[in-house]
Structure 1
Amino acid sequence: MNVTVDEDKCCGAGQCVLIAPVVFDQREEDGVVDLLDAAPPPEHHAAVREAATVCPTAAIELTPND
């Protein structure tokens, strides 16, 4: 799984950080998402999928590894 985020779409809700803190963080200055791991290991995939699903602005995009 590859993860990308659109920082321009991010509203700083922080749900991704609460659900998958190993993969996502927030910048101190504005609360925008900070992607920590663009290719998380399989044990984090379920949490990352959930984070993408609950993101209110759909700023998180997931693509499969080929």
Structure 2
Amino acid sequence: MALKITEECINCDVCEPECPNNAIYQGDEIYEIDPDKCTECVGHYDEPQCQQVCPVDCIIVDPEHQETKEQLMQKFLKLTGGN
């Protein structure tokens, strides 16, 4: 499942640099996550790094983009050129 940032985001800028897939970007009002790039850090870390650093816990699982760990690993491999 890709993650998403809720409207509780305070634009503190700590999540964006932590994303190894460059999936987090500044949207019109708050930071947003590109679901095509988000692997929940599968392939990079044991836990999503953005969730670890978010001071307001506004990064949640996106119910509109549900994926298994295997699908997230396949996305990671595609994004990193690992097949």
Structure-1-length-normalised TM-score: 0.65
Letter in 2 for 1:22: N
In the alignment, what sits opposite 1:4? Answer: 4
CA 1:24–1:55: 2 relative to 1, 3 Å: same
In the alignment, what sits opposite 1:23? Answer: 23
In the alignment, what sits opposite 2:33? Answer: 35
Looking at CA atoms only, which structure, 1 or 2, has the larger radius of gyration? 2
Residue ranges of structure 2 left out of the alignment (5+ in a row):
70-83
Letter in 1 for 2:10: C
- Structure holding more strand per residue: 1
Structure-2-length-normalised TM-score: 0.54
Query: Separation in 2 of the partners of 1:48 and 1:16?
Result: 13
Letter in 2 for 1:15: V
RMSD across aligned C-alpha pairs, in angstroms? 3.0
Query: Separation in 1 of the partners of 2:32 and 2:47?
Result: 14
Residue ranges of structure 1 left out of the alignment (5+ in a row):
none
